[in-house]
């Protein structure tokens, strides 16, 4: 998907539903996928973020950390989380 930036978010299955509900309120910001990868024992979920909206997405994720169990957040490739994850 070239019209979006891929982010990988370390969270739980239950929290990804909450994150999806919040991001859905921001029309056109992001598309949460249920695709996930296990990396270094951590579960990372894929989120497509609209080009040009990366800063806003990162701000929303920072605010969500106050209410949701969110670990690392990385820009990455479509098929895997960032190597430093």
* pLDDT tens-place string over residues 11-69: 999 999 999 999 999 999 999 998 899 988 999 999 999 999 999 999 999 999 999 99
Return the pLDDT at 85.
Answer: 41
- Cβ pair 9, 68 in contact under 8 A: no
- Cβ pair 42, 10 in contact under 8 A: yes
> Does the pLDDT value for residue 71 go beyond 70?
yes
CATH of 4-76 given 3.30.70, 3.30.56, 3.40.720, 3.30.420? 3.30.70
Return the pLDDT at 80.
Answer: 65
- Supply the pTM of this predicted model: 0.86
């Amino acid at each position: 998907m070239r019209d979006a930036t891929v982010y990988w978010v370390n969270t739980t299955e239950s929290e990804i539903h909450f994150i999806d509900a919040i991001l859905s309120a921001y029309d056109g910001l992001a598309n949460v996928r249920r695709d996930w990868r296990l990396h270094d024992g951590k579960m990372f979920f894929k989120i497509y973020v609209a080009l040009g909206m990366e800063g806003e997405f990162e701000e929303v994720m920072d605010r969500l950390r106050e209410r949701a169990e969110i670990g690392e957040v990385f820009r990455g490739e479509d098929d895997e989380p960032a190597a430093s994850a």
